[in-house]
Amino acid sequence: MKRVYGTAVRTSLIGFLLVIVSVACASSSQPPLLVDITTVGDTVALQHSLDDTFFHITAVVHNRDSRPIALVGCFGSPDAERETNGKWTIVFSPGCIADYFRPIAAGDSAVFPLTIWGYTGKGHYPELVSPAVPGNYRLVFSVAITQSPVPPTSAPASQKVRSAVFVLQ
């Protein structure tokens, strides 16, 4: 009889702990952000100068979420990835000395004219991560939930959101 009681207590304790862990995990996980990023124009001109490679593009960030968001990271600037044989590789990655915060209210959109660039020579920052050649590209922003229109004192947890594909030629 004592053995059955110990088994029942042990089973109840394990069940209780599983419920606690399940509730804790469910309450700490956030649903994915409902954010779309489009670009103005399907085709963008890749430009070269003596020291760098760059392109101008306008991104439109649509916050379809019920929560306010912010573009975070290097002045809110995105990485740019190129598709090669079905695999996406970062080509342009912004260089900066400070994080930045660009808030977008719930249900709102914001337009960002951008110049995405990288130095082609060694020893200059930001240098191109890999060669920029014509092809299919997309922008990759870091987006975070925010509760305030002012920058937080520490970087909020963010997720990567990718734009629609555009052609760089």
Predicted confidence at residue 82, as pLDDT, reads: 94
Please indicate, yes or no, whether residues 106 and 43 belong to a single structural domain of this protein: yes
Please indicate, yes or no, whether residues 97 and 26 belong to a single structural domain of this protein: no
Please indicate, yes or no, whether residues 21 and 92 belong to a single structural domain of this protein: no
Predicted confidence at residue 78, as pLDDT, reads: 86
Predicted confidence at residue 1, as pLDDT, reads: 46
The tokens describing 78, both together, are 């995105």
Please indicate, yes or no, whether residues 116 and 155 belong to a single structural domain of this protein: yes
Please indicate, yes or no, whether residues 26 and 76 belong to a single structural domain of this protein: no
Predicted confidence at residue 32, as pLDDT, reads: 87
Tally of domains in the chain: 2
Please indicate, yes or no, whether residues 20 and 68 belong to a single structural domain of this protein: no
- Taking only the tens place, the pLDDT of each residue in 104-135 is 999 999 998 888 888 887 777 777 777 788 99
Please indicate, yes or no, whether residues 147 and 94 belong to a single structural domain of this protein: yes
User: Residue 52 belongs to what domain range?
Assistant: 35-168
CATH code of the domain covering residue 88: 2.60.40
Give pTM, 2 decimals. Answer: 0.74
Please indicate, yes or no, whether residues 14 and 43 belong to a single structural domain of this protein: no
Closest CA to 91 of 59, 47, 126, 56: 126
CA 72 to CA 41: how far, in whole Å?
24
**Which segments in the chain show pLDDT lower than 50?**
1-28, 97
Please indicate, yes or no, whether residues 16 and 46 belong to a single structural domain of this protein: no
Predicted confidence at residue 109, as pLDDT, reads: 96
Three-state DSSP state, 150: coil
